[in-house]
Amino acid sequence: MRYAAFFLTLMLLIRVFAACSLFNNNTDATTLPSETSSVAQTTTTATETTVETTPTSEPTPTPEPTSTPTPEPTPTPAPTPTPTPEPTPTPTPEPTPTPEPTPTPEPTPIPFGEEPDQAGQADLLFDIYISRALVDLNQDGTMEEVEFIAGPATSELRINGASYTVNLANLAQRFGVTDVDRDDAILELAFTDPYAELADSEKAYTYLYWWSGTQLIKMGGLMDVKFDGAWRSGFDPTDHFDGNGMTMCLARTEELTDVWYIGHYLCDGSERKIKEKSYTTRPVYSVDPLVLKSYIVLLNNIDSTYFTSEYYVIWDYASGYSTLDRDYTDSIVSFIPQEGETLEVIRVYGKYWFKLQASDGKTGWLKCMDKKVQGYYQVMGITAFDIFDGILIAG
Ligand SMILES: [Ca+2]
Ligand SMILES: [Ca+2]
């Protein structure tokens, strides 16, 4: 069998060789493919039948390399953009101003007025001068030249050269300019007593004046208002002026007994005289107590109506009021303190009204003018001395 196969193969090779030669020499190629084809078919058949082919083992596929997963890169955080600082603008240097030529100094006129000692506070004017002030007294926009010359009997005030007499003796060579009421077009002049060592019973005064344009008009005196010499350091104008028309100063009443208090005053009338405006206030110094010689009706209210004739029954010792209990009260009567009781002045209302307090705290008002207790004086003809012991008579 092996020889036969070899022989057949050899024969086949020969035929193939011969066919190739024929093909090379034959120009007519039309018939050859079919022959070649049949030979090829034959050969193929033979090969299939005779050749055991050792199956070629397929190459072992190269294992794909296990790919190590590339770690995903950790995203780098985007850097926060640093803001670019804005450039500081370089200031354009301003041109150095050309210095103005120094004017030839004119001779400075000597001012008429002094630089005042400004004793006022906030918007309260109180300027203190020794002798000369340049000030707009009538607030018309034009300054007045004011000159003050203190004298032993009277003093002189000159305003724009016109002379006025200040009819006060022994004033200090010093004066103030103030504004009692900011709402009127007037400034006031204040002349004052000279500094001195005073006894307790002596009080220095300051006197207010104003200028009408043609006249120098006196308004009145203010007790214990003083700003000359060593008094200046203790002087506070706000204690005495509120700038709204009111002046305030120490006051004294001796209508019943000796009582000191702070009085309030307003400008009154065309001449603007200061006039007391009554209000209820405490005495500033302690008042010696009064002792009743007989009972007295004290009132609930400050009201002068009760001294008219229709109320006379209240003040008549022969009336029913004399029989009422001490603690009796009605719309008019506060209480009826009795003989021997001690009463203290705890309030005043102006010069004439006094609020008295008994030792048990009960209080009531009476009116007294020139030691005449109102009501009792009109009806009974008696005075404060007939009703009270302990009235202090100022020396
Ligand atoms: Ca003026
Ligand atoms: Ca004024």
Residue with tokens 């780098």: 76
pLDDT in tens, 131-159: 999 999 999 999 999 999 999 999 999 99
- Note the ligand closest to the C-alpha atom of 142: 1
Say how many Å lie between the CA of residue 136 and the centre of ligand 1. 4
The model carries a pTM of 0.72
∠ CA 259-264-266, nearest 5°, is 145
Say how many Å lie between the CA of residue 191 and the centre of ligand 2. 17
Q: What is the pLDDT of residue 118?
A: 97
- Note the ligand closest to the C-alpha atom of 179: 2
Q: Annotate 289-330 with DSSP letters as a single string.
A: -EEESS---EESS--GGGGSGGGHHHH-TTSGGGGS-TT---
pLDDT band for position 86 (cuts 50, 70, 90): low
- What contacts 221, CB < 8 A, 6 or more positions away? 205, 206, 207, 208
Amino acid identity of 131?
S
- Note the ligand closest to the C-alpha atom of 208: 2
Say how many Å lie between the CA of residue 141 and the centre of ligand 2. 14
Say how many Å lie between the CA of residue 314 and the centre of ligand 2. 47
DSSP state of 220: E
pLDDT band for position 72 (cuts 50, 70, 90): low
Q: What is the pLDDT of residue 83?
A: 53
**19 sits in which H/E element:** helix 2-25
The environment of the single-atom ion ligand 2, i.e. residues with CB closer than 5 A, is 179, 181, 184, 186
240 pLDDT more than 70: yes
Say how many Å lie between the CA of residue 35 and the centre of ligand 1. 154
How many CA atoms are closer than 13 Å to the CA of 237, on its beta-carbon side? 21
More confident residue, 24 or 387: 387
pLDDT band for position 8 (cuts 50, 70, 90): low
From 189, 196, 187, select the one nearest 228 (Cα to Cα): 196
Tell me which of 18-32, 142-156, 248-262, 320-334 is least confident: 18-32
Say how many Å lie between the CA of residue 239 and the centre of ligand 1. 27
